[in-house]
Amino acid sequence: DALVQYYAAAVQQQVAAVPGLSAAASQTAGPGTPSTGWLTNRLVEREKARIEKNFAEADRLRQLLRQNGVEVDDRERTWSCRDGRKGARPNHNDPPEPE
């Protein structure tokens, strides 16, 4: 039991060391929820719109994400999904992910 807890803690530390990745974010999406690739791509698009000061587009993308169960925290630079996935908010120049 102690050995299992030790290895679980070690894996959590390794996952935490990777920027933008959480144990929940590495899981696949459940039925009826968007894929992590779809989420990441919309978050990148939103960041691009914010940098370009296209706030109408950024707001539209935030609303689209909310409709799909995703909340963005701009102060903490994180996102979370109602199915438990979460991670660091991607940057505007991150490469697109397969959806």
The helix/strand/coil state of 97 is coil
Q: Provide the pLDDT for residue 42.
A: 97
**Structure tokens given for 87:** 């991670």
Query: How confident is the model over 7-31, as pLDDT tens digits?
Result: 555 555 554 554 544 444 444 555 6
Give the number of other CB atoms < 10 A from CB of residue 91.
Answer: 13
**Do 38 and 45 meet the contact criterion of CB atoms below 8 Å apart?**
no
**pTM, 2 dp:** 0.69
Q: How far is CA 22 from CA 79, 83, 91, in A?
A: 11, 13, 16
Nearest to 94 by CA among 15, 13, 39, 32: 39
Instruction: Report whether pLDDT(40) > 80.
Output: yes
